[in-house]
Structure 1
Amino acid sequence: MYENKAKPNDSIVHAPHENKPLEPVETVSKINSEYDVIVAGTDPEGIAAAVSAARNGLKTLLVDGNNREILGGLFTVGWLNSLDMNLDKNDKSSNKGKPLNKGIFTEWFAQVEGDSFDIHTAANAFKRLVDGEKNIDLLLKVKSMEPILQEGGDSAGSKTITGLKLVLEDGTVQEVKAKSIIDATQDADIAAAAGVPYTLGREDIGNKDSRMAVTLVFRLSNVTDDVWKNIRKAIKIEDNGKNEHGSNEQSAWGYNKLQTYQPVNEKRTKMRGLNIGRLNDDSVLINALQIFGIDGSDPASREEGIRIGKEELPHVVDYIKANFPELAGVELDGTAPELYIRETRHIQGEYRLSMIDVLENRDQWDRIAFGSYAVDIQRTKPDEWGDIITGPIQYAVPLRSIVPLKVDGLLVVGRAASFDTLPHGSARTVPVGMATAEAAGAAAKLSQTEGITFRQLSASKEAVAKLQNMLNEQGMDIKPFTIEPIAISKHKHYTGLKVALLMGLAKGGYTNKNFNLEGESNPQAMVYLIGGAKTALGQPAAMPGDPSAAVAAIPEAERSKQKLTLEQASLTIATALGMKVSPAEAQSALVSGGFLSEATVNGIDDPTALKIGETHMMLKDLAQTFGAAADPYISR
């Protein structure tokens, strides 16, 4: 029976400012040969999974292989001490709304200072959660973890994970059996080793080598209360009423002028505006230095990222001190032991969360968590900007998204769950991850009680309803919801927008206004659209041409200024397809070849000035001709 340690979080009261030492974490001296559940990883998601499993009566091994001495991972060793909150935007009882994901997340959150927190406070709160559960054995500093597999499962070609082979800190090898494994390693390390299929970075939109930048968080000292007041004043002046930057007693976000900083390592680093989180000792932690070309799933690459960051940061801090008077007295006072890694693997699960799920604020019948944070895509290389794709009100994460394909007995929680790369920009946030992890712990109990696999559980509406009842009893508040359809869904070009959005070729900002379907397009924008489609569809043989060749006759300075004609748009597509046609012949060639429909042509209001929405409809027609390659973009 689940023992709820706290009432559902109706009112969060934060701890006062008090600098407390880290409480030592005790690792178990001897582990059992078998457990009900093994949870791999001590990031917040791993702790939530282990606590949930333990409270549901399961003997649980919580194990970590990252040479950590404290709990909390990203928050406490990666020093990311500012939360991307998932708030209930329909809750009018407070200015900002209350957390959507309750349960263990809000139990922990009630013990820290606020949306930014002291890492000692956070680590001690995680420790108390684990220490409070007699069913948890905590094992740190293992040298490696490998899945133990047996052939066969409940689907064709699948295997079943039955435990982990651990190399302990002293070099001893021990095999530990378990009825269930929860992978909370952040990079799906256990799942990948077990043979779960996955995509890397932006592979699902055609670019396997592209992923969001990593960050080395750094600490600045000498940030007294007076300095903090001056920081807040400076940010308010910078914001100038736009509500794009802001601050409170614990957090600040602004200083976008820092993007003028010229990195020493200009090919590998870039500064963004400062995200600042206060500690309780007159210091702050800064999430702002972006580092590129790092594979977060590779230990050697992670070490390279830390080295690059440490070499760049003295120059960054000198620039800050010289250009911002209120920060003139700060000093660089250390860097995080671990990188903040945003994106590596995305497993393939029974369901893959899509951008349309997030855009349309969709509920799911097997909901286990909720998201509402903006789809925030950070830079993937120095010479580009990040994007806000959309700002959802609320969407559900399904149980099926943590049930991996090909391997039974395993759940994967956190940012590596079964999310497409773009919605991952929202769903990767820790409150979502902790909610999925709490659900995973409860699902382990239910699967063992019912004698069914996770895959069978995820396919059974009756079993999922039992799981949701368990979660509600635990204080998570997993209830159905309905949100009015978004306004843009009524637009006649919405189907085209969805295709562009799924390919990563449209961005709406926080309010979706930037989709601007009625805005005028231009020849250069059409080149970008078709070039992006060529990448996303992965059809080099069928699209051998360079779409930019279609604008060669237009002066470069005019390519983004001229109105886009139907003839020019058709030529751009035809050129990408490798057709040898004149501008006047391009449209008829596309229609006769099945690449452009008469309905789309007839729906264009003015052939001399195409709208953005009309180009999206042409993109949809093009995509539909590529069959299976286009299914992920057409069928959602």
Structure 2
Amino acid sequence: MTGRKWFAVSSIVMAGALLLTACFGRADAPVTRTPKPLDPSKPDVVVIGSEIEGMYLARAAVDEGLSVLVLDPREEPGGQLLQGEMLYLDEPFDRSGTSLLQGLVKGLFDEYKKGTIRKLPEYESYYASLTEGIRIVPGITITSLSTGSPGGSSSAVKPEGSSPTRITAMTYRTKNGEEKTVSAQYWVENTDHAALSSRLGLKRIPGMETVFPAKGKDYMASSVMMKFKGVDWKKFAKEVGGLPKAQRFEKYGVNTDVSKDFAYGLGNIGKSYKPSSKEVFLRGLNVVNQRDGEALINALLVFGVNPADAESVKKAHELGVSETLKVRDHLRRELPGWENAEVNGYPRYLYIRDYDRYETEYVMQASDLFSGTLFPDTVGIAGYALDLQGTKANPWGTEIGKSDRYGMPLRSFLYKGYANVIAAGKNVGASAVAYGSARIQPNTAQAGEVIGAILGLIDGRHELASIPEEEMKRLQKLMKKRGIELNGKPGRNLIEGYSPQQIEQVNQGKLVVKPKS
């Protein structure tokens, strides 16, 4: 952990621990094992990056008795949640309206919906409690990897068709310039810029260029969160949310709704905005009431960001900051209750939705999601619209339908041909179209928790990619006792009766899947 003032461990961790207990305390909660003392040169698990999804994996692994070290290439921990302040949380539901939240992440959402976790310090406290006892070393640079192939290697690139490779050690440089080497049983990619996985010699999963034609690789836009104060939310909710649906939709955009806590839709507000350059775009607004006249909006898109390039990130952040002032003036004119809104500071980083992802043992397709598939090695139950955010070529993006519940297999979190390298969070193995749903934070957070627990429960007895089916059933039963159901009822098959050609169109994002009656 770092010594930032906002990360005042002595007070925040104590408060966060109380909150974590309140959020997650339940009769079926597992009794945590005492983790092994951490040897920073030889932990059981090394997590690269500190995005929150991977921290659920780390937490579960520690609670199963494993030692975990987090090595973060970023200067400060917390990624999109704390540094990017992506504090508008999307909840996954099945098509019957049942929430799919399970495990530790459900506790975060419960407090979020109640309004007790809305502001950055509250998220910082939560994050501190989630990561309590886990060592995070920020500002590192990976310099080399060694593998289990004969003779080892300074690069993890492996020949096609060879037997599974194990990463055995990593050499990295600290922000003070010191070289260190660490070995581990498992390695986890948990960054937003493929800091580890880009070194594995794997094929990149084709990206948004397969959906919206582009020259070369393309990605969904990043975002700069916009923070405001001086918002009269009661007036906003009454004068917009209180309108009859037809009138509300006509004036503000289809699917616009404003409650006492949240607002979404408002597409006409984006359509009427004139951005200062082609590199930014205002889409429909997702707004969270942070209390006390404060509100946060997820809507300002920035195109062409390379999160692996510090200069690209810096330029995009500066562009978003300057554009926020212009958006403020637009909101003052267009939205009741926002007449006196002022900018309430800026996030320190971006919300990176999408970057290079690499082949896993199984790459989920849109047809897996729409068919409601449950896999024998399901480690997560997910759901969400296949929401492909905008690119510069198509700034409004598209949605090709909303799935019912579906399973996320362990194999989609295991890099292809590697015995001990795990993808966390937005690195999940999913096609560009399937990624529109699979990428949602609670989906991969819940899967991460299960994977972290599995690492401790199998205790090295099985390779992750070849856990016997009976053993996987046993592990799933154990997770059910802990409140995470993994092999319940499958989702509805929304593409039943589709021809092979239609299914291919679905997988390419060229055919919208309509709800079944």
Q: Please report the TM-score for the alignment, with normalisation by the length of structure 1.
A: 0.68
Tell me how far 1:265 sits from its aligned partner.
3.3
Counterpart Cα distance in 1 of 2:418 and 2:250: 53
1:440 deviates by: 2.1
Q: Tell me how far 1:281 sits from its aligned partner.
A: 3.8
Kept in 2: contact 1:9–1:107 (CA 8 A): no
Amino acid in structure 2 at the alignment position of 1:454: L
CA spacing shift, 1:260–1:336, aligned 2, 3 Å: same
User: 1:104 corresponds to which residue?
Assistant: 104
Deviation at 1:254, TM superposition (A): 2.9
Say if 1:166 and 1:447 are closer, same or farther in 2 by CA, change over 3 A: farther
SS at match of 1:34: coil
Contact 1:354/1:420 (<8 A) preserved: yes
CA RMSD of aligned residues (A): 3.0
Q: Are 2:379 and 2:486, in contact at CA under 8 Å, matched by a contact in 1?
A: yes
Which residue number in structure 2 is paired with residue 579 of structure 1?
none
Secondary structure in 1 aligned to 2:403? coil
Specify the alignment match of 1:287 in structure 2.
298
1:334-383 residue CA offsets vs partner (Å, 9 max, x unmatched): 22211111111222111110010111111111111012111111111265
Q: For 2:112, what is the secondary structure of its paired residue?
A: coil
Among 40, 43, 56, the alignment partner of 1:35 is 43
The CA deviation at 1:403 is: 0.8
- Corresponding residue SS for 2:182: strand
Determine if the alignment matches structure 1 residue 499 to structure 2 residue 500.
no
Paired residues of 1:219 and 1:333 also in contact (CA < 8 A) = yes
Is it true that 1:322 corresponds to 2:341 in the alignment? no
Question: Greater CA deviation, 46-55 or 308-317?
Answer: 308-317
Call closer, same or farther: CA 1:145–1:212 in 2, change over 3 Å. Answer: same
3-state SS, counterpart of residue 357 of structure 2: strand
Aligned length: 473
Counterpart of 1:386 (choices 397, 406, 421) is 397
Mark the CA change 1:351 to 1:438 in structure 2 (over 3 Å): closer, same or farther.
Answer: same
Partner of 1:520 in structure 2?
A: none
SS at match of 1:49: helix
CA contact (8 A) 1:103 1:476 kept: yes
Structure whose CA Rg is larger: 1
- Counterpart of 2:142 in structure 1 is 145
| CA distance in 2 between partners of 1:9 and 1:254 (Å) | 38
For residues 139-176 of structure 1, give each alpha carbon's deviation from its aligned partner in whole angstroms, at most 9, with x where no partner exists. 24223235632242997154321243332232222212
Alignment of 1:485-524 (within 5 A): 485-486=493-494, 489-490=496-497, 494-508=499-513, 511=515
Note the 1:617-628 alignment, pairs <5 A: none
Q: Is the 8 A contact 2:276 2:323 kept in 1?
A: yes
State whether residues 442 and 467 of structure 1, in contact with CA within 8 Å, keep that contact through their aligned partners in structure 2: no
Determine what percentage of the aligned residue pairs are the same residue.
21
Residue number among 211, 223, 242 corresponding to 2:219 in the alignment = 211
Do the aligned partners of residues 224 and 352 (structure 1) sit closer, same or farther apart at CA in structure 2, a change above 3 Å counting? same
User: How far is 1:187 from its partner?
Assistant: 3.5
Q: Is the 8 Å Cα contact of residues 261 and 316 (structure 1) preserved in structure 2?
A: no
C-alpha contact (below 8 Å) 1:108/1:126 kept by paired residues = no
Equivalent AA in structure 2 for residue 75 of structure 1: L
Q: CA deviation at 1:82?
A: 1.4
Distance 1:229 1:385 in 2: 25
Residue by residue over 1:484-535, the C-alpha shift from the partner in whole angstroms, topping out at 9 and shown as x without a partner, is 433x5336xx3332122222222236x379xxxxxxxxxxxxxxxxxxxxxx
Which residue does 2:26 correspond to in 1?
Answer: 7
Structure 1: where are the runs of 5+ without partners?
A: 11-29, 91-95, 514-636
Structure 1 distance, partners of 2:142, 2:291, is 36
Contact 1:35 1:178 in 2 (8 A): yes
Cα distance in structure 2, aligned partners of 1:351 and 1:483: 20
Deviation at 1:463, TM superposition (A): 3.2
Mapped partners of 1:354, 1:200: distance in 2: 12
Note the C-alpha offset of 1:447: 4.4
Whether 1:300 and 2:302 are equivalent positions in the alignment is no
Distance 1:195 1:485 in 2: 36
Quick one: distance in 2 between partners of 1:264 and 1:108? 34
Find the counterpart in structure 2 of residue 478 from structure 1: 486
Q: Would the alpha carbon gap of residues 293 and 55 (structure 1) be closer, same or farther in structure 2, given more than 3 Å must change?
A: same
Distance 1:443 1:253, change over 3 A: same
- In structure 2, the partner of 1:437 is 448
Equivalent residue number for residue 168 of structure 1: 174
TM-score normalised over the length of structure 2: 0.83
Letter of the structure 1 residue corresponding to residue 45 of structure 2:
V
Q: Which residue type is aligned with residue 112 of structure 2? A: V
Give 1:330 deviation, angstroms: 0.4
Paired residues of 1:267 and 1:382 also in contact (CA < 8 A): no
The corresponding residue for 1:560 is none
Secondary structure class of the residue paired with 1:289: strand
Q: What is residue 274 of structure 2 aligned with on the other side?
A: 263
Higher RCO structure (Cα 8 Å, ≥6 apart): 2
Residue identity in the other structure for 1:424: Y
- Offset, 1:322: 2.3
Question: Residue 189 of structure 2 corresponds to which residue in structure 1?
Answer: 183
**1:336 paired to 2:344:** no
SS in structure 1 of the partner of residue 425 of structure 2: coil
The DSSP-based 3-state class of the residue aligned with 2:447 is helix
Pairwise CA distance, 1:289: 1.0
**Contact 1:274–1:287 (CA<8 Å) still a contact in 2?**
yes
Q: Report the 3-state secondary structure (helix = DSSP H, G, I; strand = E; otherwise coil) of the residue aligned with 2:82.
A: coil
